[in-house]
Structure formats: C-alpha cells, structure tokens
Amino acid sequence: MSVKTALLPADDPAAIARAAEVLRRGGLVAFPTETVYGLGADALDAAAVGRIFAAKGRPADNPLIVHVAAPEQARALARSVPPAAERLMSLWPGPLTLVLPRAAVVPDATTAGQDTVAVRIPGHPAALALLRACGRPLAAPSANRSGRPSPTTAGHVLADLDGVVEVILDGGPCAVGLESTVVDATRPVPMVLRMGGLPLEALRAAVGEVDVLSGQDPEAMSRSPGLRHRHYAPRARVVLVAPGEAAALGGPAVAVMSQRPRPPGFVGRWQVMPAELEGYAHALFAALRELDAPEVETIVVETVPEVGLGRAIADRLRRAAQG
C-alpha cells in the first residue's frame, strides 16, 4: 500500500503538530535526530511498530530503540532502573542508548521479545518537540531500508521510503552522523553493545568503568541482536585497505574514500574525507550513498584510527564491507 509522503520543515510548529497527529493514530513519521534520521511510530502500539518493520524490511528479531523526551518517561518503560543506568542518564540528551529491564507496557514487537528495552533522549530540538507534541514514546530505528547506509539528510530518507512514510520532517543534515552508542545498563559494570556517536573515552570519563562487548563472546549475538544483520551497505562492493593503499587501485568502476588528497593521475572517483574524526563521522553515510553511482562496482575505503569516534566509524565500515 502506498501513501503520499509529505516533506515538511522540522522547525515549523504546524508541521510538528501534523506529524504528532499521524503518530497518535498509529502512522509513521521520519524525523531528524542528532545521530541519523529516525523512522518513528508509537512504541507502545504493537500494530504501529509492525509498520516500521514492514516499511524497512527489518528482520523481526532486531529490537528498536525507544525515544523519549524526559528521564521520567524512560523510567516508566523500565521494570527497574539499576544504579549504573541512573549515572548514565546524566549524559542525556545525547547519542547514548541505555538497555534497561523492560516494563510490561512495552510490547514484544518493540523489543523483539527481549526482556530488556533500549531507550534514549535525543539531542535535537525537532525530535524533542515531536516527542512532546505526541506525548508517546517513539520507537525509531534509522529511516532507511534495512541493510542500507543510515540516512543523514531528509533526501536520503525520501530516496529509501518515498510512498511508505506519511511525513518526513526535514531538519537538514544530522550533526553527529552516526547512530547512538548502545550500552547495556542492566549489569553492575555497564557494557557497550554497539559503538556509536558517544565515544568510549567520553563514557568512561563520565561514569568510570565501562566494559565493551567482545565480538568473540559467544553470547554477543544474543545480547546485541543488531550485530547479526547485514548493515550500512551500498549497492557496490566495499573493500577496506590501509591508509595510502587506495592510490594504486584506480579504475573506471572504482570509487575511493580517503583522508588523503587525490593522487595525480588517479583513475576513478576520489572522495577526500575530513581529517577530523567528527567531520568524518558527519560525512560518512552521505559519502557512501554519493559514491554508490551506477557505474561504480567497488568502493575502496582507507581505514581510520580506532580511537574516539574512530571506533564507531571503523565498525560501520567493517559492516558495510561484509555486505
């Protein structure tokens, strides 16, 4: 079934009111956050949440992040709030998702049947205005077709979900450009399940000891279901190489993402990525979509140092290359 998609300015109160109305009757609205654009629906309405999975083609075993406007609203979704979670909540609003024990009000559809629920307060004025206007917690995964690079502009959302989502609120490019850091806050020592827009170093500086889920951990997949799935992949094949190695790999069907300048005589597209990791994160998903032109068969990406935001960037690049 196809709907007429309305593209509306996110800073217009009338647009927010209209989008909130769509959400209250169980519809889908894409909205900007500081991380990426989210595809929102009422998190407590199983039928509305089902529409998110259908719109994205998302595997039903991959749970959704619930967005709220205030800490009290997050506490209402949790069976209990462990001490570690209380400390971590001081970092909201921001690119940080907390996994908490789930209260009975949250439907199985939202948590993919897990007995935990993932919650965050986004740091974007339009997202907060929408949450307040509709008065419901909003389940909102990234507003892309499942497996594709996450959308960081309203145009990316339109490219993937035109005719599927009722309203897209256009708030311009997302400031961070990477999804939130997901932390399991049910444990005595919190554990990062997915690297993201809040760097590990910043988390540790704010709350002390923090573990990181190891990819070798046999339990890893069950604790962080999103890790099981293909993600962030353009249509072209993505190949990772060390910095400096892309220069030798040119060709008419090649595109390169590198922090270095285009070498003289290089054949193919060459996208210079920002040297600063914040700028790199901001530009990453747009660059993957931009370089994914019809004539491009291979996108060669030079890796980044795995410190600060570089950990999340490297994670997304590895998963794009697994496609």
Residues that bind ligand AMP (CB under 6 A): 62-65, 99, 111, 114, 116-118, 141-142, 179, 182, 193-194, 224-226
Q: Is the dihedral of CA 257, 56, 212, 216 positive or negative?
A: negative
Phi-psi region of 298 (alpha: psi -120 to 50; beta: other; left: phi over 0): beta
At 105, give phi and psi (nearest 5°).
-65, -20
- Near Mg ion by CB under 5 A, which window of 107-115, 136-144, 153-161, 254-262? 136-144
Q: Which does 62 bind (CB under 5 to 8 A by kind): ligand AMP, Mg ion, none?
A: ligand AMP
* Distance in angstroms (rounded) separating the CA atoms of residues 222 and 232: 20
Q: Nearer to Mg ion by C-beta: 42 or 160? A: 160
88-127 mask for Mg ion (x: CB under 5 A)? ----------------------------------------
Q: Which is nearer to ligand AMP, 224 or 258 (CB)?
A: 224
Task: Quickly list DSSP for 26-37.
Answer: T--EEE--SSS-
CA torsion 203-205-207-212 (nearest 10°) is: 40
Residue by residue, DSSP assigns 154-178 as HHHHHHHHTTT-SEEEE--S-SS-S
* Region from 126-134, 141-149, 160-168, 190-198 binding Mg ion, contact rule CB under 5 A: 141-149
**Helical axes 13-24 vs 125-134, angle rounded to 10°:** 50
Q: Which does 283 bind (CB under 5 to 8 A by kind): Mg ion, ligand AMP, none?
A: none
- Copy the structure tokens of residue 313: 């960037």
The number of helices, as runs of H, and strands, as runs of E, in the chain is 11, 15
Measured from the CB of residue 36, what is the shortest distance to ligand AMP in angstroms?
A: 8
Q: Which of 110, 142, 180, 258 binds Mg ion (CB under 5 A)?
A: 142
Cα separation values, 85 from 100, 131, 184, 194, Å: 8, 22, 9, 16
Considering the complex, state which of residue 97 and residue 142 has its C-beta at the smaller distance from Mg ion: 142
Per-residue b or e along 23-54, where b marks 16 or more CB atoms closer than 10 Å to that residue's CB: beeebbbbbbbbbbbbbbbbbbbeebbbbbbe
**The one segment of 63-71, 137-145, 263-271, 310-318 that binds Mg ion by CB under 5 A:** 137-145
Kindly tell me which of 142 and 153 has the beta carbon lying closer to Mg ion: 142
Q: How far is the CB of 33 from Mg ion (least distance, A)?
A: 12
The residue (of 62 and 258) whose beta carbon lies closer to Mg ion is 62
The stretch near Mg ion (CB under 5 A) out of 135-143, 188-196, 203-211, 265-273 is 135-143
Instruction: Please answer whether residues 111 and 102 qualify as being in contact, where contact means their C-beta atoms are separated by less than 8 angstroms.
Output: yes
118 binds, among Mg ion, ligand AMP, none (CB under 5 to 8 A by kind): ligand AMP
Name the segment binding Mg ion (CB under 5 A); options: 4-12, 63-71, 134-142, 273-281. 134-142
Nearer to Mg ion, 142 or 181 (CB): 142
Contacted by 18, from ligand AMP, Mg ion, none: CB < 5 to 8 Å by type: none
Residue 165 buriedness (CB in 10 A; 0-12 / 13-18 / 19+): buried
Residues within the interface to Mg ion (CB under 5 A): 142
